[in-house]
Chain A
C-alpha cells in the first residue's frame, strides 16, 4: 500500500469518526431533550411539581443542538444560503467565488469563536452560575468551540476550492 492511499484511507476514517461523534451528540441531546420535556409534562399533570432545573436544562439543550448541528451543516456545506449568482457563472469564476466565500465564512466563524471566548472570560471573571451553582462558562463554551470547528470546516472547504482552482480541473 503506498503512502498516498494509506493517507486518504486514514482521512476517510477520521471523517467517518467525526460524523459519528456529531451524530452521537445530536442523538443523545435530542433524545434527552424529548424525554425531559415529556417528563416535565407528566410531572406537571400529576401534581408532583416539575423539576426546577428541567426547563433551564431543556433550553440549554436547544442551544447545544443548534450549535452542534451548525458544525454538522458546515461539514456538508449545507448552511442556508442564497446562491443566486453562482448559477450563472462559468466553472472557472465559480471556483474562484467559492474560494472567496469559504475564506470569508471561515474568517467570520473564527471571529465569532474569538469573541465567544471573550464572553466566556467575562462569565469566569463574574463567577456567573447556572442551576444554582454550576459555572456558566461551561454551558457557554459550546459557542466558541462550535464556531472554531465551523471555522476549521470552512477553512478546509477553502483549501479544497483553492486546490481545484489552481489545478484548473474544477468540476
Chain B
C-alpha cells in the first residue's frame, strides 16, 4: 500500500489530474475491502454531489464572477476606487489592493483577478511613477487578496467540507481579511513615502461621476451580504440572485457582453467548477475510507506524541499548511486535508471557524510561493516577465502577508470576535 501511495504521489507531481489521483487511491482502498462491489462506493460518493444543496452556490457565484470580469466592470471598479482613494499619497497602490480584494471575493480566487484587473492597474501604476518591481509584486500579491471575504469560493468550500455554517465563515473572514489589506497598504505607503505626489486631487465631481458609472454594480455586495444576513436568502439563493442580477445588468441593460459570447463564458466558468466538484466528489470517497480506517485517530495519537499544547499545535499546523500550500492548489487542499486535520484541531480546542481562517489565509500564501504558486505564473505570463523576477518582486509582499497569517493564527479573537 505504501508503494502504491508513493506511485500516486509521483504521478501527481508529474501532472496527473488530481481527481484521478484521489479516485485511484479510493478505488484501490475499497477494492481491498471488497474486490467485487467495494469500488462502487466511489461513483456513489461522486453522485452525492447531487445531495448537497449548498453546492449550487459554487457554479452560480463562479459564473457571475466570470461575467463580471468579461464586462467592463473591472475598469469601472478601478475608476471608482481611484476617485475615492486616489487623493492619498501612494493612493494608487491602495486602489490596487482594495479593488483586487473586492474583485477576488466575487471571482473566487482563480487567477481571474490578475488577468482582469492587472491589465488595467499594472500600466496605471507604472505611469504614475511607481517602481517597476514594486508594481509587479503588488499586482501579483493583490490577485490573492479577498479570499477571506464573502462570497469567495474557498470560504464556501470550507463550509461544505468542514460542515461549518457558511454565514459564520463570511463574518469571521472580515477582520482577518482587513488585516491583510491593512498590512499591505501600510507597506505600500511606506515604500512610496518618497513619492508623495498624490495621484489626483480629491473631487466630489469625479466621485459622483464614478458612482453614477458604477450604479449597477454597486448594489451587488448589498444584495449578497444584505440578503444573507437579513435572513431573506440562503447562501445558494444569494448566488442565484447574484447570477440573475449580473446577467440582467451586464448583458441585458449594459449590453457589454453579446449573447453569442455567453456559451463560451459559461463553458470557461464551468470548466473550473467541474474541476473543483470532481475533486470534491472523489475526495468524498477517499475521506469516507480514511474515516473508516480511523486515520484521524491515528493522526491524533501521532501528533500527541510531540505536541502538548494548543500553541505548539498551531505552530505545527502553520508550518504544515505553508508547505502544503506551496504544492497543492487551494481547492484540492481543502477537500483532502480539512477532513483530516479537523478532528486533530478539535483535540487542541481550535474552533472549526478559526481553523478555516488559518487554513485559507495560509493557502492564500500558496498562490505566491514557488514552485507552483498560480499567481506567479499568471503574472509572469500576463506581464511578460521572467518567472524569477516575479518571485523576487513578490517576496516582500509574501513576507508581510506571512506576518498577517501568523497574527490570524495566534489571535483567534480576530476571527471569532464578531461571532460571539
Residues of A whose CB lies within 8 Å of any CB of B are 22-24, 26-27, 30-31, 33-34, 37-38, 40-41, 55, 58-60, 62-63, 65-70, 72-73, 76, 78-87, 97-98, 100-101, 104-105, 108-109, 111-112, 115-116, 118-119, 122, 139-140, 143-144, 147
Contacts and interface: CB of A to CB of B under 8 A. Distances in A.
A133 B270 CA distance: 30
Contact of A87 (B52, B59, B275, B371): B371
Interface string B22-57: 011001000000000101101110110111110110
Given A26-B263, A41-B241, A108 B24 contact: yes
Select the residue from A37, A55, A97, A144 with max chain B CB neighbours within 10 A. A37
A69 B42 contact: no
A100 B267 contact: no
A105 to B, nearest CB: 5
Given A41-B241, A72-B270, A104 B46 contact: no
Task: Give the dominant DSSP class at B's interface.
Answer: helix
B15 A65 contact: no
B267 A26 contact: yes
A116 B282 CA distance: 13
Contacts of A55: 53
Tell me the dominant secondary structure on chain A's binding face.
Answer: helix
A58 B236 CA distance: 11
A78 B266 CA distance: 15
A16 B264 CA distance: 13
A144 B43 CA distance: 8
9 contacts: A30-B266, A40-B237, A66-B274, A70-B278, A72-B271, A78-B275, A81-B16, A101-B15, A104-B20
Given A82-B12, A82-B13, A111-B27, A66 B266 contact: no
B358 interface: no
B14 A101 contact: yes
B42 A66 contact: no
A97 B20 CA distance: 16
Contact of A62 (B20, B40, B233, B277): B277
Nearest to B30: A115
Interface of B: 11-20, 23-24, 27, 37, 39-40, 42-44, 46-47, 49-53, 55-56, 58-60, 63, 233, 236-237, 239-241, 243-244, 247, 262-264, 266-267, 270-271, 273-279, 281, 327-329, 331-332, 371-372
Given A66-B278, A81-B17, A112 B27 contact: yes
Given A63-B49, A65-B274, A82-B15, 19 more contacts: A23-B267, A26-B266, A30-B63, A31-B266, A34-B247, A40-B237, A62-B277, A65-B59, A70-B19, A78-B271, A81-B12, A83-B14, A98-B15, A112-B27, A115-B27, A115-B42, A122-B40, A139-B50, A144-B43
A62 B278 contact: no
A82 B271 contact: no
B266 A80 contact: no
Centre residue among A37, A59, A65, A115 by max chain B CB count within 10 A: A115
A147 B264 CA distance: 22
Residue with the greatest number of chain A CB neighbours at <10 A, chosen from B46, B237, B266, B371: B46
Contacts of A66: 49, 273-274, 277-278, 281
Contacts, number: 194
Contacts of A118: 37, 39-40, 43
Given A79-B275, A119-B40, A65 B23 contact: no
Contact of A59 (B13, B44, B56, B275): B56
A41 B237 contact: yes
A112 B23 contact: yes
A65 B273 contact: yes
A109 B46 CA distance: 13
A22 B264 CA distance: 10
A43 B371 CA distance: 50
Given A108-B27, A112-B42, A69 B273 contact: yes
Contact of A81 (B18, B51, B241, B267): B18
A66 B58 CA distance: 10
Q: Of A24, A40, A62, A83, which is in contact with the most chain B CB atoms at under 10 Å from its CB?
A: A62
A108 B47 contact: no
B111 to A, nearest CB: 12
Contacts of B42: 112, 115
A23 B241 contact: no
A59 B233 CA distance: 17
Contacts of A63: 47, 49-50, 277
A107 to B, nearest CB: 8
In the complex, which of the residues A27, A81, A84, A122 has the most CB atoms of chain B within 10 Å of its own CB atom? Answer: A81
